[in-house]
Amino acid sequence: MSDEKSLGDDLNDMLGDAKEGARKAAQKAEEFGQEAKEKASEFAEEAKESAKEFASSAKETFEEVTASDNKKLIAGVLGILLGWLGIHKFILGYNTEGIVLLILGLLGFFTCGITSAISGLIGLIEGIIYLTKSDTEFHNTYQVGKKPWF
């Protein structure tokens, strides 16, 4: 009987050890689960912040392109209609070039000279070029790159 008792005691000890191991494993799993929740929460906050920054950047870019699109349309139409006065150059911020076209246009207008026709032809060509460029290409060429002629 002592063998049976010691075998039973051994089994009880092993069962107790197994229960203790299972309890410790459950405790560790709970700790890991809590850590995972915290990490997921931190990640979600960082993702939200990144999304907000991206949205803000996209909005700024859209506003820049929209503003340049408006300048593109206005500059193109004025270049075609009133190019000899150089108004399209002033719209884009090219004051020196605008003054040159204005002087050529007025000089030719008052003296019936060819300079008015030349400044008008320049305005017509530039207006067509402005309107045929994509918004991004127009923005990069004439507003960022500051290309003053053609």
DSSP string across 93-108: T-HHHHHHHHHHHHHH
The confidence band for 6, taking pLDDT boundaries of 50, 70 and 90, is confident
**Residue 150 located in a structural domain:** no
Give 132 or 14, the one with higher predicted confidence.
Answer: 132
**Inside any domain, residue 112:** yes
The predicted pLDDT at position 112 comes to 76
Mean pLDDT value across residues 131-136? 89
Average pLDDT on 137-146 reads 83
Contact yes or no for 78/88 (Cβ under 8 A)? yes
For the question of whether the overall pTM of this predicted structure is more than 0.85, the answer is no
The whole-number pLDDT of residue 126 equals 92
Task: Tell me whether residue 18 is in a domain.
Answer: yes
Q: What does the DSSP 8-state code read for residue 144?
A: I
- pLDDT of the residue at 2: 55
* N-terminal to C-terminal alpha carbon distance within the chain: 110
What residues have CB less than 8 Å from 41, skipping those under 6 apart? none
pLDDT of residue 119: 86
For the segment 17-29, the average pLDDT, to the nearest whole number, is 84
- How is residue 144 written in tokens? 């960022």
The mean of the pLDDT values for the chain is 82
The total number of structural domains in the chain stands at: 1
Residue 149, in any domain of the structure? no
pLDDT value of position 79: 92
| pLDDT reported for residue 5 | 64
Q: Using N-to-C axis directions, what is the helix angle for 95-111 and 114-132, rounded to 10°?
A: 140
108, 114 contact by CB (below 8 A): yes
pLDDT at 128: 94
- Cα gap 114→37, rounded to integer Å: 78
Domain interval for residue 82: 2-144
CA dihedral 67, 72, 77, 79 (to 10 degrees): 120
pLDDT at site 50: 75
Q: pLDDT (tens digit, 9 = 90+) per residue, 54-105?
A: 777 767 766 665 555 578 888 999 999 988 888 899 988 899 998 998 888 8
